[in-house]
């Protein structure tokens, strides 16, 4: 048995890079110091914030909600609201929603559940079915990612949030970094900064990633030690996503060469610094306002409205706007 490097009690975690081992008490102190250092380093919050925490009901987002709620007790000017986006994935989201409700009720946190069906008229399961029937080339994760990001920003703003906190950990960030390199999506790499915004658009809510430098295994242990770890339920659409293959390969590299993920993160931060100097060229000018829904967009029609148009799930007056714009220029 390995003992804690600080007090000699049985260890629950070993940092393979530093060689330090931590018992439960000292792991939670290590975790707290690491997250607070990340928040300070990237200047994520001011002394007065309404923090909307994006919570899926999974271990990482429940850990983030728990952590920020407890941290907010030390900052009188902070208000916390939990936001769950219910995509409408049968056998998945209905289960994770129960874990979400359990934790927000235990903490006594204000919350909001916003569904695809409420805002778009259809669940993700229905959207995927319609897309397949129409022969559209998009994977389920494409619809989910676009519509989720759209609602997170829109609903966080409607709630009066000054900042949107997401539970992306170091593993999530470097996986997405590798995916975007493979897809040659340099504009999307800019979104992987620890703080996104404020962009030059009044409807964009600044986003932060407090777990940016925290390994997934560390957030997992935090959730277990705080009785947050939910029953594991895998999204049925996950098998269509290249992320899972990249995740496995990066974990194998980290196991053989400890520190690989941190090296990739340093590489990402260097790339972001370089790309940010050419931001206007990369994202083709300033952030626009979608002519259909009025939300922030890189184009005259946002991706969410374009998907709704192609799926045939928008009103006739909205279709006319899209067709008018498409007749003038290609998105």
Residue ranges and CATH numbers for the domains of the chain are 1-33 (no CATH), 42-283 (3.40.50.620), 287-331 (no CATH)
The C-alpha angle 92, 63, 71, rounded to 5 degrees, equals 145
- Name which residue leads in pLDDT, 229 or 116: 116
**What b/e readout covers 251-272, taking b as 16+ CB neighbours within 10 angstroms?**
beebeeeeebbeebbeebeebb
Percent of the chain past pLDDT 70, that is, above it, reads 95
- Name which residue leads in pLDDT, 331 or 328: 328
- Rounded (10°) angle between helices 140-158 and 124-133: 140
The mean pLDDT of 33-62, rounded to a whole number, is 96
Q: Is the pLDDT of residue 278 over 80?
A: no
At residue 276 the predicted structure's pLDDT band, cuts being 50, 70 and 90, is confident
Whether 4 has a binding-site annotation, put simply, is: yes
The C-alpha angle 171, 94, 191, rounded to 5 degrees, equals 30
The C-alpha angle 97, 217, 214, rounded to 5 degrees, equals 95
Whether 7 has a binding-site annotation, put simply, is: yes
At residue 229 the predicted structure's pLDDT band, cuts being 50, 70 and 90, is confident
The mean pLDDT of 118-138, rounded to a whole number, is 96
Q: Is the pLDDT of residue 199 over 70?
A: no
* Mean pLDDT across the chain: 93
The mean pLDDT of 148-157, rounded to a whole number, is 97
Q: Is the pLDDT of residue 150 over 60?
A: yes
Whether 293 has a binding-site annotation, put simply, is: yes
pTM: 0.92
pLDDT score recorded for residue 1: 84
pLDDT score recorded for residue 282: 61
The mean pLDDT of 202-212, rounded to a whole number, is 95
Whether 141 has a binding-site annotation, put simply, is: no
pLDDT score recorded for residue 330: 46
Whether 290 has a binding-site annotation, put simply, is: yes
Whether 26 has a binding-site annotation, put simply, is: yes
């Amino acid at each position: 048995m390995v003992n804690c490097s600080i007090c000699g009690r049985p260890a629950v975690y070993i940092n393979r890079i530093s060689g330090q081992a931590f018992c439960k008490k000292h792991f939670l102190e290590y975790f707290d110091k690491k997250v607070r250092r990340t928040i300070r380093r990237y200047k994520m919050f001011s002394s007065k914030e309404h923090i909307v925490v994006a919570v899926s009901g999974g271990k990482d987002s429940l850990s983030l909600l728990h952590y920020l709620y407890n941290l907010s007790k030390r900052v009188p000017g902070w208000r916390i609201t939990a936001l769950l986006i219910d995509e409408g994935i049968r056998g998945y989201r209905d289960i994770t929603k129960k874990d979400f409700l359990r934790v927000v009720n235990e903490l006594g946190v204000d919350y909001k559940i916003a569904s695809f069906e409420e805002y778009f008229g259809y669940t993700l399961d229905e959207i995927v079915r319609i897309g397949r029937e129409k022969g559209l080339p998009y994977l389920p994760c494409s619809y989910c990612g676009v519509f989720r990001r759209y609602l997170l920003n829109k609903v966080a703003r409607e709630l009066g949030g000054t900042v949107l906190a997401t539970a992306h950990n170091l593993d999530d960030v470097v996986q997405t970094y590798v995916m975007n390199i493979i897809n040659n999506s340099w504009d999307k790499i800019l979104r992987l900064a620890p703080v996104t915004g404020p962009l030059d658009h009044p409807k964009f809510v600044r986003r932060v990633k407090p777990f940016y430098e925290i390994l997934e295994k560390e957030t997992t242990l935090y959730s277990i030690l705080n009785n947050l770890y939910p029953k594991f339920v895998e999204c049925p659409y996950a098998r269509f996503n290249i992320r899972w293959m990249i995740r496995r390969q990066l974990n194998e590299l980290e196991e053989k060469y400890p520190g690989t993920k941190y090296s990739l993160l340093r590489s990402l931060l260097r790339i972001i610094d370089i790309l940010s100097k050419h931001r206007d060229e990369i994202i083709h000018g300033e952030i626009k306002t979608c002519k259909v829904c009025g939300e922030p967009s890189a184009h005259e029609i946002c991706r969410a409205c374009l998907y709704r148009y192609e799926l045939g799930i928008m009103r006739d007056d909205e279709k006319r706007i899209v067709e008018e714009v498409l007749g003038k220029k290609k998105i």
